Structure formats: structure tokens, C-alpha cells
Amino acid sequence: MHDVEQILARVRSRNAALIAVSKTHSVSRIREIYDLGIRDFGENKVQEMIEKAPQLPPDIRWHLIGHLQTNKVKYVAPFVFMIHTVDSEKLLGEIEKQAAKHDRSIRVLFQFHVAREESKFGIDPNRMDWLTQVDFPLEYPHLIPSGVMGMATFTDDEDIIRREFQQLHSIFHRLKTSVFADQASFKDISMGMSSDYAIALEEGSTMVRIGSLIFGAREFPPQ
């Protein structure tokens, strides 16, 4: 195991939160990390999250950090704490509907595609008109708009990574001073993983999502 306390101290000294990304790791490994005081865990697959959650303490805050299909929202709605990957109005509407059904409030982050890699997921910063027109809280009384999320390009070039985090930060700022100006809850920038979290913290991250540095190498490769 890596030094979780050391990572935690570094993250907290920047007033950010640590999300332990437990994908592919067993319930007993998660329990070990839980026993160190960590309460925020991230999973990228709905199926894996719904299998693990009932076997672990109820005070864990579960973060969905992978792509979410509209037809799977209903499985996580009863317990998920925050969904980091909202990238369409349709998905937003479905999360509202399912949260209402369970009489819950669900925190949502808007995922932006800022990396150079091709990806079907994340909002294209040049196509975010729909987001500038959403009406919170009127249309979405069960959702807590909490900020933005993004991933940097997988590269050794720190300048590229830094610029992408800066771009995400500026998108956050634009939304915070316009659409979400009246929403005190809109305050998070979820960015930074094992390889780039130090840069992310320097660029204003408030939530880092760290897997391999905490749990060691994954038991099978992520898709």
C-alpha cells in the first residue's frame, strides 16, 4: 500500500477532497482504505458500484466517475452521492426524475472534454449552449449542481496537462459567474488522477480522483 496519509495531507493542504478510486479492487481492500478514515470512493461502472456498495458501510459517499447511460441511472439513484459525468441535457433530466422517485438530492458535476484524445464523452466546450439555458433549481429540484469535471490528456508533457486543467478551470469560472451564479453549491472542480494530481491541485482542483497511488496497480486493466 502506498502512503495514503501522505497523499491525504497534500490534498487537504490545498483545501481539496480526496476520492479514492476503487474500481477493480475488492470490497476487503476498500474496507482497509475506509479504516484509514477515507469516506469518498469512486467507481466508473454502474454494475461494479451497485455490487460493492451494499457490502460496505453506509456512511461511504459513492462517486460515479465513469460514463453513465441514461437507462442505468435508476440503479445508482437510491444511494449515489455525486455523479461526475453529466454531459447531456437528457442525462440531467433522467437523474432528476430518478432522484425525485427516491426522494433524494443528488450532486452533479458537468463533465467537459478538454483532452486532446478523441472521446465520445464529456461536453465539447464549444457546444455548451444547452447548459447556459438550464434552469436551476426550478427544473431540477432534486439535483445539486456542484461544479465541473474533466480529464487531461494521457501524456508526459506537463504543459499540455496544465493547459487543459487551466481550460477546465476557466469553464468553471464562466459557469460560476453566469448560469450558476446563484448556486452556492456550485464550487467543485474535479480534476487530477494518480499521475497528474499535483498539477491539478496547483491549477485549482477541489477534488482529486486517485486510484492506483492508493490501491496499487489495478487487478485488470480499465477499459
Ligand X SMILES: *Cc1c(COP(=O)(O)O)cnc(C)c1O
17 is a site residue for ligand X (CB under 6 A): no
147 is a site residue for ligand X (CB under 6 A): no
Instruction: Identify which range of 74-82, 98-106, 180-188, 190-198 contacts ligand X by CB under 6 A.
Output: 190-198
Among the listed residues 27, 194, 198, 204, the single contact to ligand X using CB under 6 A: 194
Q: How far is the CB of 24 from ligand X (least distance, A)?
A: 9
Those residues whose C-beta lies under 8 Å from the C-beta of residue 117, and which sit 6 or more positions away, are: 153, 154
As a whole number of angstroms, the distance between CA 202 and CA 165 comes to 9
211 is a site residue for ligand X (CB under 6 A): yes
Q: How far is the CB of 209 from ligand X (least distance, A)?
A: 4
From 207, 205, 148, 142, select the one nearest 179 (Cα to Cα).
148
Q: In the complex with ligand X, which residue's Cβ is closer, 83 or 179?
A: 83
Residues 27-66: x where in contact with ligand X by CB under 6 A, - otherwise, as a string: -----------------x--------------------xx
* Residue 133 grid coordinates: 439555458
Q: How far is the CB of 42 from ligand X (least distance, A)?
A: 7
Q: In the complex with ligand X, which residue's Cβ is closer, 34 or 136?
A: 34
Among the listed residues 91, 193, 199, 200, the single contact to ligand X using CB under 6 A: 193
* Residue 30 grid coordinates: 476498500
As a whole number of angstroms, the distance between CA 80 and CA 144 comes to 13
State the residue number with the nearest CB to ligand X: 211
185 is a site residue for ligand X (CB under 6 A): no
Residues 69-108: x where in contact with ligand X by CB under 6 A, - otherwise, as a string: ----------------------------------------
23 is a site residue for ligand X (CB under 6 A): yes
Judged by the rule CB under 6 A, the positions of this chain that interact with ligand X are 21, 23, 44, 65-66, 151, 193-195, 209-213, 222
